[in-house]
Amino acid sequence: MTSERVGILGPGGVGGALAVHLVHAGLVVVVVTHADASLYDRGELTLDWKGRKVTAEPYGTTLLDGPVDLLLVAVKAPALEDALGRVEPQAVERAVILPLMNGVEHVETIRARFPGRVAAGSIGRFEAYREDRTHIVQTSDSALVSMASEELPRKELDHAAALLERGGIETRIEESERVVLWDKAARLAPMAAITALTGKNVGEVRAEMRPALEAAIAEACAVATADGAPNDPASQLAIVDRIPPTVTTSAARDVEAGRPSELDAIVGGVVRAGRRLGVPTPTLDELLEQCRAS
């Protein structure tokens, strides 16, 4: 039995689904949560995937104090500070800390708490949501995790990637943290803002709000390019055009449900980067203000 341990900080849609896949790959998985951790010890974590129910029994805890080889940070932005307080420094002394979060600012927040152990990460081709605390629905077939780090050696990233790949998760190691973060943010910020503001799904946004979508993506790509991660608006729009029409964004679902949203982290992060870099973002500015006012 493997002695390699993966911690998952935040067992929501992303973290919960990955926990199930990694447990079934034979890894020791420790789920770190602010809620009743004993639910996970009782094997109540269930994943609906490809027409079947898959159950798993990771370890559950409210404080990660034992060592892990890989820590996946899968909380939403408003919960990040509280979540980081649930990780003891000695638990991640040898770990790759890999956030799979939306936005472009969270890496530095995590790095300030745990210097020397952080990689930038992004998860794509993946759609999952939480029905309740231990019931996850994954609607995508698979996932692609991209990562890069300015402070970790390549061999440590390779090891982290190998652990994920054992769970059937495709991985890609990039040369630049900026590239990893902006590749998703350049299209997600416009989509999150528009879907949260209007309540429309991706297909409706493409059909009914194409000019605003194109303008916002062009702005986000300009900011990304100025930040050292060249992005082409046409390429980002092509990705959006391939998304199934009924898909929405987690930010829109949170707004609809009255939960704290990640709009400031996702959209505000791009707007703040634009101001820092001298790149105007009038469409994104207006969308963000309308979201805040609604």
Separation CA 22–CA 54 (nearest Å): 12
pLDDT recorded at residue 1: 42
pLDDT recorded at residue 133: 84
pLDDT recorded at residue 142: 85
125-142 mean pLDDT? 89
Q: pLDDT: is 232 or 130 the higher one? A: 232
**5-175 matches 179-293 in fold:** no
Separation CA 156–CA 97 (nearest Å): 11
Q: Quick one: which H or E segment has residue 122?
A: strand 120-124
| Contact criterion met (CB below 8 Å) for 214 and 236 | no
With 70 as the cut, is the pLDDT of residue 43 above it? no
pLDDT tens per residue, range 252-276:
999 999 999 999 999 999 999 999 9
Q: Using alpha carbons, select from 45, 71, 48 the residue that is nearest to residue 56.
A: 45
92-118 mean pLDDT? 97
Q: Using alpha carbons, select from 204, 209, 225, 220 the residue that is nearest to residue 272.
A: 220
pLDDT tens per residue, range 136-194:
999 988 899 999 999 999 999 999 999 999 999 999 999 999 999 999 999 999 999 99
Q: Calculate the dihedral angle through the C-alpha atoms of 58, 10, 52, 38, rounding to the nearest 10 degrees.
A: 40
Average pLDDT value over all residues in the chain: 94
Q: Is 84 exposed, middle or buried (0-12, 13-18, 19+ CB in 10 A)?
A: middle
Question: Among 53-57, 96-100, 224-228, which is the least confidently predicted range?
Answer: 53-57
With 50 as the cut, is the pLDDT of residue 230 above it? yes
Secondary-structure class of domain 5-175 per CATH: alpha beta
The whole model's pTM is what? Answer: 0.94
Q: What phi and psi values does residue 80 have, to the nearest 5 degrees?
A: -65, -50
Q: Where are the domains of the chain?
A: 5-175, 179-293
CATH of span 179-293: 1.10.1040.10
Q: pLDDT: is 2 or 18 the higher one? A: 18
Confidence of residue 44 (pLDDT cuts 50, 70, 90): confident
| Contact criterion met (CB below 8 Å) for 101 and 123 | no
Q: pLDDT: is 233 or 141 the higher one? A: 233
